[in-house]
Amino acid sequence: MRKRMRRAARPLPLTMLELTLASYETIGHRSLMILQGTCSPAEYARMAREKVAAFSRSASVLARSRRAPSPASLVAPWHAKATANAKRLRRR
């Protein structure tokens, strides 16, 4: 059985900066798609699903922790979704 290697935690300010930039990029791409009429129904559904998924992951971290969780662990699901979306939409 292989051990899972943990990545070193990023500092919260860096995580928040990346989240902000990726969110702006994603909002820009999606707004342009909406204005051009090229936003698919699947993309609209993805917009809602990813918010619910990120919220539920953050809530899960909050509920499972016995001590107060770090702010970075609560922001991590939002960061992961935003950076993945920015990367995916950048290729379009």
pTM for the whole thing?
A: 0.79
Q: What is the pLDDT of residue 83?
A: 95
Q: What is the pLDDT of residues 65-75, one digit of tens each?
A: 888 888 888 89
- Domain extent listing, the chain: 38-92
Q: What DSSP string describes 62-92? A: HHH-SSPPPHHHHHHHHHHHHHHHHHHHHT-
